[in-house]
């Protein structure tokens, strides 16, 4: 937390799980990154008195993923004659998705990549620069700089728990009028800045709905037995509500892959009854890591509708016998939560915790569903809704890499009572605030709300 001059970068936020293969077309590391393509977007340089949390967020201003492998970040002055501050080199495989974010900081508890050595940000002001270092001297020269910013504490973010935010990713890095204190304590890692009033920075939060594509999985037993979790059946009202907001909604019966997911921002997995393959799970994990959003909708234990030995709880947990197996765990090991093996009913549920996902939600129902255990491995997870007397939540949301996820313990909330002839479906869509929760959650997963 030493004093310094900050060099510019523009907005990028959390990239997450960088070891996962990219779904997007990525520039080769040798390709030059045009100035302003990646910018310094947000800086936490003086979190609060007595704390040491520091990080820098980058934002990809383009419509294509960009490889940062071999590029460098420094808090040394641009054009300096010698290296007096710190320099961080982005490792092989590091990329930032189109319209996405990446954070680098002094702790992996708040950032995706950890700097080391002399890298530290001064509390009264400093600088940050992203550069190519074409002559390998670790010093950012003007012709090598992709983005840089120099700031003072008067610009904002000075020790009250609020970050210094860039207002416009396309605006000048060097202008104090393009920066200010975030209105959210702790900053907006991986999401649109609170001071960004335009459409930029939509990769991880904020932005418009129009044109955003949502994909329903309908190829894993979603019509087995009495179910009809399709956008033409019991989830049709859910799909219609999204279309009314401007989303584009489609479905697939194909195996989940990067090709199938290409072009989509959100994937809905409504109570699967046929297990996902390891290849499909990897594609879903990578989709989230690279900036997508996934809604895991389960049901209660012993709800195997096609009698193949797997119900939705077991599928998401990765085991037929254990909630959090030592080997084979899926959502538990990857995202930090798993579904409990219970079967609970309550209406109305009124223990609603206030946040953006539950805004306007006053109550919901549970008609044979499970609760969700948060392991503690993912500090971004927020618990949204609790059944009376239950220590574990019924609905959660959180972040992984550059993307987001949410989970719900009962498919009945979004059942609108329509489906194939002979299906005994129940209209939970019109009960309580079930529909509001559904649309809010997709808005979160799409980055429209934080």
Same domain, 43 and 84: yes
CATH of the domain at 98: 2.60.40.1260
Same domain, 50 and 108: yes
Task: Give a yes or no: residue 52 inside a domain.
Answer: yes
Is pLDDT at 412 greater than 70 in this prediction? yes
Is pLDDT at 129 greater than 50 in this prediction? yes
Q: How far apart are CA 135 and CA 44, in angstroms?
A: 30
Mean pLDDT of 250-259: 96
Q: Is the dihedral of CA 354, 357, 359, 362 positive or negative?
A: negative
Specify the pLDDT at position 208. Answer: 56
Q: What is the pLDDT of residues 363-374, one digit of tens each?
A: 999 999 999 999
Same domain, 153 and 219: no
Is pLDDT at 21 greater than 60 in this prediction? no
Task: Give a yes or no: residue 14 inside a domain.
Answer: no
Instruction: Among 158, 181, 204, give the residue marking a domain's end.
Output: 181
Q: If pLDDT is split at 50, 70 and 90, which confidence band does 49 have?
A: low
Specify the pLDDT at position 34. Answer: 84
Q: How far apart are CA 189 and CA 43, in angstroms?
A: 10
Specify the pLDDT at position 425. Answer: 86
Question: Pairing between strand 248-252 and 266-270?
Answer: unpaired
Same domain, 311 and 433: yes
Q: If pLDDT is split at 50, 70 and 90, which confidence band does 99 have?
A: confident
CA 128 to chain centre: 25
Same domain, 172 and 220: no
Same domain, 67 and 143: yes
pTM for the structure as a whole: 0.58
Question: Pairing between strand 266-270 and 344-349?
Answer: unpaired
Torsion of the alpha carbons at 215, 216, 217 and 219, rounded to the nearest 10: -110
Task: Give a yes or no: residue 30 inside a domain.
Answer: no
Same domain, 56 and 140: yes
Same domain, 221 and 344: yes
Give the Cα-Cα-Cα angle 449, 358, 380 (nearest 5 degrees). Answer: 65
CA distances from 222 to 226, 231, 254, 297, 298 (A): 9, 11, 13, 11, 11
DSSP codes of every residue in 6-40:
PPP---------TTSPPSS-B--TTSPPPTTSEEE
Total of domains in the chain: 2
Q: What is the pLDDT of residues 183-230, one digit of tens each?
A: 888 888 877 888 875 433 433 334 457 679 999 999 999 999 989 999
CATH of the domain at 329: 3.40.50.880
Same domain, 160 and 245: no
Q: How far apart are CA 130 and CA 85, in angstroms?
A: 14
236-245 and 434-445 helices cross at what angle (nearest 10)?
Answer: 60
Task: Give a yes or no: residue 15 inside a domain.
Answer: no
Q: How far apart are CA 124 and CA 429, in angstroms?
A: 53
Same domain, 303 and 254: yes
On the 0-12 / 13-18 / 19+ scale of CB atoms within 10 A, 312 is buried
Same domain, 286 and 408: yes
Task: Give a yes or no: residue 78 inside a domain.
Answer: yes
Task: Give a yes or no: residue 19 inside a domain.
Answer: no
Residue 312: CB partners within 8 Å, gap ≥ 6? 271, 272, 273, 297, 298, 299, 303, 339, 411
User: Mean pLDDT score of the chain, rounded to an integer?
Assistant: 86
Greater pLDDT, 36 or 354:
354
Greater pLDDT, 414 or 144:
414
Range of the domain at 319: 213-445
Task: Give a yes or no: residue 450 inside a domain.
Answer: no
């Amino acid at each position: 937390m030493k004093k310094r001059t900050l060099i510019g970068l523009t907005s990028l936020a959390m990239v997450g799980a960088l070891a996962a293969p990219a779904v997007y077309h990525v520039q080769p590391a040798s390709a030059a990154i045009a100035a302003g393509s990646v910018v310094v977007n947000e800086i936490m340089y003086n979190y609060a008195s007595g704390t040491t949390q520091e990080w820098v967020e980058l934002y990809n201003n383009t419509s294509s993923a960009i490889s940062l492998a071999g590029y460098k970040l420094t808090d040394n002055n641009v054009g300096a004659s010698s290296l007096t501050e710190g320099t961080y080199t982005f490792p092989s495989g590091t990329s930032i998705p189109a319209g996405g974010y990446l954070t680098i900081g002094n702790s992996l508890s708040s950032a995706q990549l950890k700097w080391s050595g002399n890298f530290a940000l001064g509390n009264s002001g400093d600088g940050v620069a992203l550069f190519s270092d074409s002559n390998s001297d670790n010093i950012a020269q003007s012709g090598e700089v992709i983005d840089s910013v120099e700031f003072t504490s008067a610009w904002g973010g000075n020790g009250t728990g609020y970050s210094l935010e860039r207002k416009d990713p396309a605006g000048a890095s060097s202008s104090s009028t393009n920066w200010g204190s975030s209105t959210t304590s702790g900053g907006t890692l991986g999401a649109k800045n609170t001071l960004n009033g335009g459409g930029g920075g939509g990769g991880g939060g904020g932005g418009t709905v129009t044109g955003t594509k949502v994909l329903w999985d309908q190829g894993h037993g979603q019509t087995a037995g009495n179910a009809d979790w399709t956008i033409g059946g019991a989830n049709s009202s859910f799909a219609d509500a999204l279309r009314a907001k401007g989303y584009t909604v489609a479905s697939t019966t194909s195996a989940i892959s990067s090709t199938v997911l290409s072009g989509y921002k959100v994937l809905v997995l409504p109570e699967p009854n046929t297990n996902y393959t390891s290849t499909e799970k990897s594609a879903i994990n990578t989709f989230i890591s690279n900036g997508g959003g996934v809604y895991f909708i389960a049901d209660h234990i012993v709800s195997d509708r096609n009698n193949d030995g797997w119900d939705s709880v077991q599928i998401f947990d990765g085991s037929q016998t254990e909630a959090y197996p030592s080997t084979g765990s899926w959502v538990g090991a990857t995202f930090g939560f798993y579904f409990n093996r219970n079967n609970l009913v309550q209406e109305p549920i009124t223990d609603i915790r206030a946040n953006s996902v539950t805004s306007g939600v006053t109550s919901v129902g549970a008609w044979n569903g499970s609760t969700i255990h948060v392991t503690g491995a993912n500090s971004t997870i927020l618990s949204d809704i609790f059944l009376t007397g239950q220590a574990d939540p019924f609905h959660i949301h959180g972040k992984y890499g550059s993307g987001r996820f949410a989970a719900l313990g009962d498919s009945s909330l979004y059942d609108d009572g329509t489906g194939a002839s002979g299906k005994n479906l129940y209209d939970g869509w019109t009960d309580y605030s079930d529909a509001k929760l559904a649309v809010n959650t997709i808005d979160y997963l799409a980055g429209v709300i934080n």
